[in-house]
Structure 1
Amino acid sequence: MATLEKIRGKAGLLVTVIGVALLAFIVGDLLNSGHTFFRMNQDKVAVVNGKRITVEEFQNRVNQRTEEMQNMYKRYGMSLPEGAAASINKEVFDQMINELLLQDETAKLGITVSKQELADLLQGDNIVPEVKQLFTDPNTGVFDKQFLLSFLNMILNGTNANMSEEEARQLEQQRQMWINLEKNVKQQRLVQKFYTLMSKSVVPNKLDIEAAYEDGKTSADFIYAMQPYSSIADSTVKISDSELKELYNKEKENFKREEQRVVKYFTVDIVPSKADFKATEDRINSLKANFASTKDVAGMLSFNTDVPYVDAYVSERSMDADMKNFVTKAQINDVEGPIFDNNSYKMYRLMGRTVGPDSVKVRHIMFPLQNDPQITARYDSVYKVAKNGGDFAALARQFSGDRNSASNGGDMGWMTEVSASQLGQKFVSAIFSAAKGSVFTVESPYGKHIVEVTERTANVPKAKVAQLVLTVRPSSETYSNLYNGISQYIATNNKVDSFEKNASEKGYNISTADLTRDDIGLGSVRDARKVIKWAFNAKKGDISEIFNTENKFLVGVLANIVKEGYASPKDVENQLKMQLMADKKADIIMNALKEKGASSIDSYAQAMSSKVDTAKFVSFNTNAITGIGFEPILTATAPYAPENKVDGPLKGNNGVYVISVYNKTTNPQPMNNDAEKQKYIQLVNSAMSNQLIEVMKNKADIEDNRIKFF
């Protein structure tokens, strides 16, 4: 009994102990199950009206877009520019946000794209232009639907059996391309339906149309005199705190701003030192004897030049001035240099001369290199048909493994020896020695080709030149010296004030940037996304690491954190003062003019210490007046002012105006209701297309976490 009483006395404590143990058990179970809850909350780039964009989804879209951009640049012999990654990330993020917003709105409205409708857009009677373009013969301009259907049968029903690794890879690429195209077409159709519905919901009434017509019906020509506000010294204008407060409260809604980070920073260009230039010059001079005497130029250059050796002849007229000057006077195996040009030292060696076409235009049908009897038989059969005058373009579209050129009838375009060299020396020799119209076979590292030369330029002098080029780059010592100098500076100047105050002594120029989460660049640095990411995850007063971007070192200090909301009166004080000052200066000018009793434009101009100018063709719809700019007071006054009378003074954006209309032109044609209605609708639709997404964003609940990831 005594024991029972003790238990009752300790009941409260037992409940607490059991509760804590139970909580520990639950939390422990969560932690041991892989942090599922926490991972779900961390694994999101954004949340739009409750729908998550996961890191994996986002990264997959980024990879897909990056590959598309790389392929596009590759077609022109270029690589993605520096800084493209940040731009692609932003483009994909914006696109995914817009898609979710549109999905929400279209779902609410019951707007869909059915399977039958999508099939009609992709392969039916109403095929979209994007698909037609891919399957249109560029020579005839005729869309080949049968080619489209054959292509779809191949990528959707074809198997990887009996395919080489390269063929299987190409097939998978084409499948993915078509899947992405389907998604884009469906999304575009959905957007089109949504925008059509929105535009049809805005119908102008008779008064809207008549008002729009009347606004542009009359235009005026006038003379004017203007006294700018800058003619009044700022020191003569007094502005009180109460006036600032009153204007702030009146304009407060214009001072909304998103979250920002104020960063003070400097950059240091990573450039070669004098010692680096000397070292590079010494190195190229040490290679000269070997470059001039070696029989294996390609082998020697493969380890010693920044410009790869291309075993090809180039027309003399396409050479740069230094090379052309050398070639015109050199003998075979002569060497010239080093020549310094554009931060590089270069030497030339003349390997050969010839006369031939600068370029040839070819088309081809490519088959895989594998020794498969069926492929070989088809290859031989297609070659015989092409050789005997068959439709080469049709054969290419049907049989060529190079699908990029196949859609253009096998056309590879104009090729120089340099551009053709990527297909190997056999291919170069074959196409440049062949006559126009000849059809022949040749192998390359990529496959077996049936080739036709369709055009040849006239023969010109050509030369094969080996180049030994060494670009002067910052050495590791130069790099370290620059880096260590910055490290020492930020170690001793690790506060905002000293970071900025002492920079000029070290030759560092401090800049200030107000950054938002959406920014990519920072001043002259186009790709500064990692700096912005740091700024939004740092604390006020933190010094950044030394970032290396675009051949610059960049270091910054987080000077301030600006929360989302309204700018404070102090933050916009200068803006408020400018507005109040303009109003007060206008009053000063207008009172002075009244006292002087001016009555004509000339007398007003004299009183304003100004001159008389002319403006023409100004209607209510005029956006900017030639010679004046944006002045709504003039576009609202001139078309309706009486002729040959002085109107003013008028308070404008930039100064006080006095005008006199001397001519008016009124459109004599009666209003065409249908034409004016169409113009009005186009204007409304344009405004809607530009603003609808932004309105949807403002109304949506969007959680933007991308700064955690990129």
Structure 2
Amino acid sequence: MATLNKIRSKAGMLVVIIGVALLAFIVGDFLNSGHTFYAMNQSKVAVVNGTNIGVEEFQERVKVRTDELQQMYAQRGMSLPEGYASRINQEVYDQMVNEILLNEELDELGIVVSKEELADLLTGDNISPQVRQYFTNPQTGEFDRQGLLNFMQVILDPEAHGYNTPELLAQIEPQRQMWLRLEKQVKEDRAIQKFANLLNRALTPNKLDLENSFEEGKTSANIAYALQPYTSIADSTIAISDSELKAEYNRVKDFYKMPEHRVIKYITLNIVPSEADYAKAKEKVEMNQSIFATTDDVAAFVANNSDEAYDDCFVAVSSMPEKMKKFAESAAVNESSPLEFENDTYTMYRLMDTKVAPDSIKVRLLSFQPRSTQIDSVLNVLNNGGSFAELSPKFNGNDEVWLTENMAPTVGRPFINKVFSEGGNGYFKAESLGGEHIVQILSRTAPVKKAKVAAYVVAVNPSTETHTALYNQLSSYSAANNTAEKFSAAAKDAGYTVNSYDCSAEDYSLPGVNDARQAIRWAFNADKGEVSEIFTLDNSFVVAALDNIVKEGYAPLDQVKDALSIQVRNDKKAEKIIADLKAKNINTLAGYAEAMKAQVDSAKFISFSTPSIAGVGYEPVLSALAPTAENGKLVGPVKGVRGVYVFTVTDKTVSQQPFDAQTEARKIQQNYNYLINSRLMEVLRDKADIKNTMIRFF
């Protein structure tokens, strides 16, 4: 009982303690959830009208696009260009933003693409241009419908076509993903086309539009003119006040609207070989040139000493690079060329063998997985009169493939040797890097001279010691000049050139540096005045200083002052030239030309609808006045873009074609269509609320 009373007496304190504990728990939970919310808010590449583009989703799309491009370049025997990642990021970002904006519009308008419509575009009578592009025979230029159907059968049911192991399925997965992306793109393009057609029909010219269009284009004038250019008056003689500049700025400042950007100063130090690197390379090649010319194992020598691999195959002499071709045309087998040095590279050739043979062979083939249990029975069927066309869909058939001997690295040397050693036109087996095949030769090109040439190539590259010396040199400079002000001030004495650039969050290059995304991303995450670490970009060391942070808005007057001064000064020059000329009471074109210290020139076919005039340039004042001026009457002086003009119409042609409303409507509609198709996404982006935070991550 005493204990109970004691608890009662402390009840108030207990309530406070429990309340504080609960509050701490709630606040703690709120802070934790707030932290999570903050983290979620930070993991966005962009927010488009309230729709998030998450980092993970963005990265996945970038990976898919990168894989697609790598495969595309690999098919051409090339690798993805260095520094291409930033361009892919921007491409994917633009695609994802456009998809969101378009889907909003399409949903609101109820525009859809039906399953039947999509099927028609993919495999029906109205094949989409994108699909047609992928399945057009490069030799004939004809669309390969059977190739498309064969491809779809394989990717839609790979197991039924022999792709029944994880390894084999992995081989065709890139093609399957490519088809899914293509299908999605075709569907989106069709929906966009419907959207554009809807807009096109909403913009219909009325009767007055048609009549004005006809009148503007039916009269064409030839003129004789004299021009006094603005450059005839020295800039120093025209005073411009601050108030005049400010008035012009306020009039045209919408042209100078700018996104948020950073002003950076940067130094680029090219990583080039030192004199010691050149000397070392020369010593190496001079020591090895006699070995290359005499060794019995050229392949091993080239593999161990050359920057280019030895391709042990015959190549048509006519298709070789010019210097190799010249050597192969006249050299004897085992003869070697003199050592040459060009573009920081030593090169020497050796002729290994020659022959006269077809350069290319056209085959058709069926493809099987490695160690197939079916290939022998299918070969037997074909050799006993079986139909290739009937077997082709079941065994990944290809009706026409052109092969050359230098394709061995991509398809396999045994496969190429087998094809080029076959003498007849029957079916035979051959194994490539991708599996086993039944092959039939369809035709051979005419025999040509072919040669097997080994190349000993040594490029002079910067050594590790050179890299280190250049890096340390620049590192010492940036450490000693670690503010933006010092960074620029000390450069000249140190032998460096400081470049300046205004970069936006979407830029990925700097003048002289193609892939500078790292430096630009640093600038958007740094404080004003900071100096960056050293970046290795485009085979150069780059260090930057953040000179200024400029928020979104209009470019300040000081920044555009020079451009504005030119326009204001030209306006004042025009006033002066016109006043001086009028004061002279001249009444002939020749008199005006003499007063202008100019000559009389001519221009033809000037109409109201063509403001850019052949031989003159963009001069809308002439396009506006010449078609309506009387023949032989002096017009001017008038202010133009380049200077002040005086002209007379020497001839005028009025089209005798009657007014045709349909023709004019078609012409105007084409202009409308062009504007809609070219500016649709720009308009949607302008009216959208887009917060681009990609610079935080990429």
Query: By the TM > 0.5 criterion, same fold?
Result: yes
- Counterpart of 1:339 in structure 2 is 340
Counterpart code for 1:525: V
C-alpha contact 1:365 1:395 (8 A) present in aligned 2: no
Match of 1:481 among 469, 472, 476: 469
Looking at structure 2, the residues matched to 551 and 366 of structure 1 have their Cα atoms a distance apart, in angstroms, of: 46
Alignment of 1:293-692 (within 5 A): 294-320=295-321, 322-323=323-324, 327=328, 332-351=333-352, 353-357=353-357, 359-368=359-368, 370-382=370-382, 384-385=384-385, 394=389, 397-401=392-396, 406=398, 409=399, 411-415=400-404, 417-420=405-408, 422-435=410-423, 437=425, 439-692=427-680
Counterpart check, 1:89 vs 2:92: no
1:367-394 alpha-carbon deviations (Å, 9 max, x no partner) = 33533433432243245547xxx55xx3
Aligned length: 693
Q: Which moved more, 1:71-80 or 1:281-290?
A: 281-290
The amino acid that maps onto 2:347 is K
Structure 1 residue 116: Cα displacement:
3.7
Partner secondary structure for residue 357 of structure 1: strand
Distance 1:315 1:567, change over 3 A: closer
- What is the CA-CA distance between 1:653 and the residue it aligns to? 1.6
Task: Go from structure 1 to structure 2 and tell me whether the alpha carbon gap of 1:581 and 1:363 turns closer, same or farther (over 3 Å shift).
Answer: same
Q: CA deviation at 1:215?
A: 0.8
3-state SS of paired residue (1:278): helix
Q: The residue matched to 1:308 in structure 2 has which SS? A: coil
Using the TM superposition, give the Cα deviation of residue 332 of structure 1 relative to its aligned residue in structure 2, in angstroms. 4.6
Shift of 1:47: 0.9
Q: Structure 1 residues 184 and 639 mapped into 2: Cα distance closer, same or farther (>3 Å)?
A: same
CA drift of 1:158 comes to 4.1
Instruction: Name 1:102's counterpart in structure 2.
Output: 102
Change (3 A) 1:395 1:269: farther
Alpha-carbon distance in 1 for matches of 2:615, 2:79: 44
Q: Give the match for residue 230 of structure 1.
A: 231
Shift, 1:39, TM fit: 2.9
Any gaps of 5 or more consecutive residues in structure 2? none
Question: What amino acid is aligned across from residue 500 of structure 2 in structure 1?
Answer: T
Structure 2 residue aligned with 1:67 = 67
Cα distance in structure 2, aligned partners of 1:535 and 1:104: 34
Structure 1 portions without partners, runs of 5+: none
Could you tell me whether the CA contact under 8 Å between 1:360 and 1:453 is conserved in 2?
no
Whether 1:26 aligns to 2:17 is no
What's the CA shift string for 1:502-525, capped at 9, x where partnerless?
323333222211111121221122
**Which amino acid is the alignment partner of residue 350 of structure 2?**
R
Mapped to 2, the partners of 1:604 and 1:142 lie a distance apart of: 63
State the 1:421 CA deviation. Answer: 5.1
Higher mean alpha-carbon deviation, 359-368 vs 331-340, is at: 331-340
Matched-pair contact (CA < 8 Å) for 1:615–1:625: yes
Q: SS of the residue aligned with 1:650? A: strand
Percent of pairs with identical residues:
44
Report the secondary structure of 2:651's partner residue: strand
- The one of 694, 697, 710 equivalent to 2:682 is 694
**1:141 Cα shift?**
7.9
Aligned mates of 1:105, 1:684 — CA distance in 2? 20
Separation of aligned partners in 1, 2:228 and 2:409 = 69
Query: Secondary structure at the residue paired with 1:373?
Result: coil
**1:67 Cα deviation after fit:** 2.2
Q: Is the 8 A contact 1:364 1:449 kept in 2?
A: no
AA partner of residue 551 (structure 1): N
> 2:187 matched to 1:186?
yes
Give 1:493 shift: 2.2
1:450–1:610 Cα change, 3 Å: same
Secondary structure of the residue aligned to 1:697 is helix
Q: Normalising by the residue count of structure 2, what TM-score does the alignment of the two structures yield?
A: 0.91
Compared CA separation, residues 652 and 577, structure 1 to 2 (3 A): same
Please tell me whether the aligned partners of residues 316 and 359 of structure 2 are also in contact (alpha carbons under 8 angstroms): no
CA contact (8 A) 1:223 1:660 kept: yes
The answer for the alignment partner of 1:128 in structure 2 is: 128
**What letter is aligned with 2:192?**
V
Aligned to 1:44: 44
Map of 2:171 onto structure 1: 170
Structure 2 residue matching 1:159: 3-state secondary structure: helix
Q: 1:664 to 1:324 in 2, by over 3 A?
A: closer
The separation in 2 between residues aligned to 1:126 and 1:319, in whole angstroms, is 42
Helix, strand or coil: the match of 2:441? strand
Tell which deviates more after alignment, 369-378 or 254-263: 369-378
| Aligned AA (2:105) | E
Q: 1:20 to 1:145 in 2, by over 3 A?
A: same
Give the alignment's Cα RMSD to 1 decimal.
3.1
Q: CA deviation at 1:237?
A: 1.8
Query: Residue 25 of structure 1 aligns to which amino acid in structure 2?
Result: G
- Assess if the C-alpha contact under 8 Å between 1:264 and 1:559 holds in 2: yes
- 1:620, 1:283 → 2: CA distance? 71
SS at match of 1:449: strand
Question: 1:370 and 1:9, CA in 2 relative to 1: closer, same or farther beyond 3 A?
Answer: closer
CA distance in 2 between counterparts of 1:528 and 1:312 reads 40
Post-superposition offset of 1:9? 10
SS in 1 for 2:591: helix
Q: Which amino acid aligns with 2:286?
A: N
Moved more, 605-614 or 459-468: 459-468
The amino acid across from 1:623 in the alignment is P
Is 1:280 the counterpart of 2:281? The answer is yes
Tell me, in whole angstroms, the C-alpha distance in 2 between the residues paired with 1:309 and 1:206.
73
3-state SS of the aligned residue for 2:93?
A: helix
Q: Name the amino acid aligned to 2:57.
A: E
